[in-house]
Amino acid sequence: MSIFMLPITPTEFKTTLLSHGWFDLAPFKVDIKIPTLMRAFKSRYGDAIIKIIVKNEKVLCETLYGNEEIAHQMTTNCLSLDIDINQLHSLVARHSNYDWIIEKGFGRYLRSPTLYEDCIRIISTANQNWSNTKKIIQALIENYGYDVNGFKDFPEPNRLIRLSESGIKEKTKCGYRASSFLDIADRSLSEPDFFAGDGWKGLHAKDFYDRLSSIRGMGPASASYLCRIYGKPYLYSVDRWVTKRCDELWGLNFRKTDKKGKVKPDLAKYENFAKNRYEGFNDYGPSVFWFEISKYWHDNESFENAWWS
């Protein structure tokens, strides 16, 4: 077992864990109160199990099993250590009302070891409540995941691609998303550097968004969401939960009536509101928007308000 120190503070580590709901999905094992992250990972390059802890005001990563190089890479990916947040913080420093972004080390997000896995995860959240998303991800792992020294990892694309769409639906209850899972697996095998390597890093935000948007079932909000957590914020992710938070914070209540007479949130008006409010943050506007609407998780140090309901 080897131990190495990570280039983030304990505050940044906790903020990253609370950045969004991935911490609540298998095979991540996360403790928010005593900041800890444990994760197993199997790839064609090697296997590893890591445990990230806080000790003596330092963030340490223990390689509990396997390839140390894979452990380093997995840690970098999962904690977004490849994202340079200095430019964001320099921009935020000009806005005194947002000094909490710097104080709490906002800017990084909890990610999966690969973009492939994050694409599967985001598709699993589309038009779905959180409890069902958790069940889909858990079923994928239980039925198709690989064993890594006693821990189950997310299924690799070469495992999924051998399955039928009907079989995935039956085992995971994921519905129409099964075709998207197979499309992502197929693309990952034909473009491994992009989906399982570093090929995405050299792309500009719009190019990254366009590549993601070409995936079957990947809507604008999902693609924009992934852009943000991969350090390439593009457009504003507005879904029903986001509109609910905007209504709570600013009393917007933008609504429209569709052709069937059903009243629903006017997403375009929410997007325009966000664009105007965060115009001064340039390309980082979508990220600052997300930080502000999810800030109460960090203030409470939990998701106690059942954000997924």
For 89-141, the pLDDT digits (tens) are 999 999 989 999 999 999 999 999 999 999 999 999 988 888 999 999 999 99
Same domain, 88 and 21: yes
Same domain, 153 and 224: yes
- Percent over 90 (pLDDT), the chain: 86
What element of type H or E holds 59? strand 58-66
Select from 121, 110, 120, 136 the least CA-distant residue to 188: 120
pLDDT of residue 303: 62
The CATH code of the domain that includes 50 is 3.30.310.20
User: What are the CA-CA distances from residue 164 to residues 137, 160, 187, 188 (Å)?
Assistant: 17, 8, 16, 17
Last residue of a domain, one of 187, 205, 229: 229
Q: Is the model more confident about 241 or about 10?
A: 10
Same domain, 195 and 277: no
Backbone φ and ψ for 30, nearest 5 degrees, come out as -125, 140
Could you tell me if residue 234 is inside a domain?
no
What element of type H or E holds 88? helix 86-92
Mean pLDDT of 72-85: 95
State both tokens at 78. 């999962």
pLDDT at position 1 over 90: no
Same domain, 177 and 88: no
Q: Which of 12-16, 273-277, 305-309 has the lowest mean pLDDT?
A: 305-309
Could you tell me if residue 110 is inside a domain?
no
Select from 146, 153, 152 the least CA-distant residue to 113: 153
Could you tell me if residue 306 is inside a domain?
no
pLDDT of residue 191: 97
Mean pLDDT of 272-292: 96
- Percent over 70 (pLDDT), the chain: 97
pLDDT tier, 75 (very low <50, low <70, confident <90, very high otherwise): very high
Could you tell me if residue 137 is inside a domain?
yes
pLDDT of residue 308: 44
Last residue of a domain, one of 194, 209, 229: 229
Same domain, 70 and 129: no
Select from 303, 282, 307, 289 the least CA-distant residue to 238: 289
Could you tell me if residue 307 is inside a domain?
no
Same domain, 93 and 16: yes
Same domain, 215 and 248: no
pLDDT of residue 228: 96
pLDDT at position 210 over 90: yes
pLDDT of residue 301: 66
296 Cβ contact partners less than 8 Å away, ≥ 6 residues apart: 305
Could you tell me if residue 109 is inside a domain?
no
Select from 220, 214, 155 the least CA-distant residue to 183: 214
Mean pLDDT of 49-59: 96
pLDDT of residue 33: 87
pLDDT tier, 298 (very low <50, low <70, confident <90, very high otherwise): confident
3-state SS, residue 117 = helix
Same domain, 204 and 255: no
Could you tell me if residue 222 is inside a domain?
yes
The domain of 11 spans 2-103
pLDDT at position 207 over 70: yes
Number of domains in the chain: 3
Query: In the predicted model, what is the mean pLDDT of the chain?
Result: 93
208: β partners: none
State both tokens at 249. 């914070």
pLDDT at position 82 over 80: yes
pLDDT of residue 187: 98
The CATH code of the domain that includes 212 is 1.10.340.30
Count CB neighbours of 86 within 10 A: 9
Last residue of a domain, one of 199, 229, 259: 229
Q: Which of 114-123, 155-164, 257-266 has the lowest mean pLDDT?
A: 257-266
Mean pLDDT of 149-173: 96
Same domain, 225 and 259: no
Could you tell me if residue 89 is inside a domain?
yes
Same domain, 146 and 203: yes
pTM of the model: 0.94
Select from 125, 116, 140 the least CA-distant residue to 230: 116
Same domain, 129 and 95: no
